[in-house]
């Protein structure tokens, strides 16, 4: 199969000749004294752009790229800190960091793809296998990291990412090098096939529903587990759970077998099987529930056990059984007001411009709601689009209070997914969890200050129990709190954790007195 990879055009007579000698490249990099990582990224981008726009032998190109690669990786990781903790839509500094990181991975991928094309075009290919393995594996890694930047800023990756990944894998299969390894350790197998499966599974994890930091945690955890997923030819199946179809001739990510609209094409489609991977995750989940860490090192010793319990539960749902939407969404035009964050919601519901407790933590709880446009709606949630004047204060898993002009009360909701676009466009999906809430405070043992909380009502008609919105880390079985609302004091017993999100816990309780 001829490679039609996404690469830049080469110049016949470049003005500047790229330096490909590793020692000279290292010397020039050693003289970089920029303190700002954006300046370092700009310098690296210029050097890569010069290298990737002229004809160079594949061996020389690979030597140069391998020399640049470590500093590109370290610079990209530093830049990522600017946008993986940022509110949505991104502020200017985070945008610049994301754009610089995206460019570094794009150019690095260009270089390895150019080397591979030259290797494949050689008439005599004897002795090129090792370099082909290196070029394909490094190109796949750069492309996957390129996609990671898009995931972490909530923008769907460009289509060429999937076309390139599929072609690179198919090329490796034709050369019978898909299982060749580079940089592998006792714990990690870094082969072409595992790198390919890693990229596929990251897409199937549905990153638009994950917090930015958790996207990277999934990627790091998956490094240890990716061998358990399997790639096979299309074959008859008695059960399609955990089976995904990859169309090698397409520019699309894998699709759940149950959602595929036509029969798989045996000549160009392959299957990704994840049930063994899901069984491994179940084993790790069971270990965490018994306060044990997996022995393979896939979960760091200092990690939050509860955070990983939530994350692994999420992955099982996305890599195992494929769920269908219960309710269809219907288009709806209109506007909705929105307040984001427990501090702002508490202050707004309490009728105060700024809550004293929020002020003590330097949390500026704004009373003024933002205006958003309703895109579609269902009985349990809605998709909404940010107006240009709305605050930049949205996070996946964040708490919202929303209200249309026809509503009597402010409903409580949670941000479940986000999708960003050009000119600061931001669409989010919100799940409605209560038709209204009451502000309150809680006296929690061993905490110096009272905590802001929200009281959600019991709704008999929908069998919704009364719950509390509490700060994350509050819930312990049978823990007692003093709840203050409307100048009334109640002693309550925490009985069941309904949901643990990134910024809050929703807890069932019973009144003691």
Tens digits of residue pLDDT in 201-213 = 999 999 999 999 9
From the list 113, 114, 101, 112, the residue with the least C-alpha distance to 42 is 101
pLDDT band per the 50, 70, 90 thresholds, residue 445: confident
| 353 has pLDDT over 60 | no
Rounded CA-CA distance 172/232 in Å is: 15
Rounded CA-CA distance 468/454 in Å is: 6
pLDDT band per the 50, 70, 90 thresholds, residue 325: low
Rounded CA-CA distance 145/165 in Å is: 12
pLDDT greater at residue 96 or residue 259:
96
| Sign of the alpha-carbon torsion through 475, 476, 477, 483 | negative
The pLDDT value recorded for residue 32 is 84
| 359 has pLDDT over 70 | no
Instruction: Give the rounded distance of the alpha carbon of 277 from its chain centre.
Output: 19
| 354 has pLDDT over 60 | no
75 DSSP assignment: H
pLDDT band per the 50, 70, 90 thresholds, residue 242: very high
| 355 has pLDDT over 90 | no
Is residue 129 within 8 Å of residue 178, measured between CB atoms? no
Task: Tell me how crowded residue 259 is: count the other CB atoms within 10 A of its CB.
Answer: 11
Instruction: Give the rounded distance of the alpha carbon of 147 from its chain centre.
Output: 10
| 351 has pLDDT over 80 | no
Q: Which residue has the tokens 């990099």?
A: 29
Is residue 488 within 8 Å of residue 475, measured between CB atoms? no
Is residue 84 within 8 Å of residue 214, measured between CB atoms? no
Phi, psi (degrees; rounded to nearest 5) at 195? -65, -40
Contacts of 288 (CB under 8 A, 6+ apart): 299, 305, 308, 309, 312
Work out the percent of the chain whose per-residue pLDDT is above 90: 79
The pLDDT value recorded for residue 128 is 86
Is residue 398 within 8 Å of residue 211, measured between CB atoms? no
The predicted model gives 494-504 an average pLDDT of 93
């Amino acid at each position: 199969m001829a490679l039609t990879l996404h690469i830049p055009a080469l110049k016949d007579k470049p003005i500047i000749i790229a330096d490909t000698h590793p020692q000279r490249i290292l010397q020039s990099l050693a003289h970089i004294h920029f303190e700002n990582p954006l300046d370092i990224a700009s310098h690296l981008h210029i050097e890569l752009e010069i290298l990737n726009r002229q004809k160079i032998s594949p061996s020389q190109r690979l030597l140069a790229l391998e020399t640049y690669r470590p500093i590109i990786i370290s610079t990209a990781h530093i830049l990522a800190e600017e946008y993986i903790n940022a509110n949505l839509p991104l502020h200017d500094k985070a945008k610049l960091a994301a754009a610089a990181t995206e460019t570094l991975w794009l150019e690095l991928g260009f270089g390895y793809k150019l080397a591979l094309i030259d290797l494949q075009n050689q008439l005599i290919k004897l002795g090129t296998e090792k370099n082909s393995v290196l070029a394909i594996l490094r190109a796949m890694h750069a492309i996957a990291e390129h996609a990671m930047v898009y995931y972490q800023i909530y923008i769907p990756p460009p289509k060429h990412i999937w076309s390139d990944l599929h072609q690179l894998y198919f090329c490796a299969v034709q050369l019978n090098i898909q299982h060749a390894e580079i940089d592998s350790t006792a714990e990690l197998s870094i082969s072409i096939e595992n790198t390919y499966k890693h990229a596929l599974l990251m897409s199937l994890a549905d990153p638009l529903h994950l917090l930015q930091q958790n996207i990277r945690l999934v990627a790091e955890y998956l490094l240890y587990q990716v061998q358990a997923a399997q790639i096979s030819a299309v074959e008859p199946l008695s059960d399609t759970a955990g089976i995904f179809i990859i169309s090698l001739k397409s520019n699309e990510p894998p699709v759940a077998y149950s959602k595929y609209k036509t029969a798989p094409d045996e000549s160009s489609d392959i299957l990704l099987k994840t049930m063994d991977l899901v069984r491994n995750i179940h084993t790790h989940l069971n270990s965490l529930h018994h306060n044990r860490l997996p022995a393979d090192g896939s979960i760091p010793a200092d990690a939050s056990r509860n955070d990983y319990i939530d994350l692994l539960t999420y992955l099982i749902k996305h890599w195992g059984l494929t769920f269908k939407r219960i309710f269809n969404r219907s288009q709806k035009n209109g506007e909705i007001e929105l307040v984001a964050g427990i501090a702002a919601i508490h202050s707004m519901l309490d009728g105060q411009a700024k809550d004293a407790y929020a002020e003590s933590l330097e949390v500026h709880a704004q009373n003024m709601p933002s205006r958003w446009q309703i895109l579609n709606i269902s009985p349990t949630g809605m998709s909404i689009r940010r107006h240009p004047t709305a605050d930049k204060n949205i996070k996946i898993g964040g708490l919202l209070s929303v209200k249309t002009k026809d509503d009597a009360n402010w409903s409580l909701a949670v941000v479940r997914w986000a999708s960003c676009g050009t000119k600061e466009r931001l669409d989010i999906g919100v799940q409605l969890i209560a038709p209204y809430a009451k502000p309150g405070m809680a006296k929690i043992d061993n905490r110096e200050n009272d905590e802001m909380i929200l009281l959600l009502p019991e709704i008999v008609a929908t069998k919704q129990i009364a719950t509390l919105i509490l700060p994350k880390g509050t819930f312990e079985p049978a823990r007692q709190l003093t709840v203050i609302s409307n100048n009334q004091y109640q002693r309550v017993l925490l009985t069941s954790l309904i949901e643990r999100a990134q910024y809050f816990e929703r807890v069932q309780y019973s009144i003691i007195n």
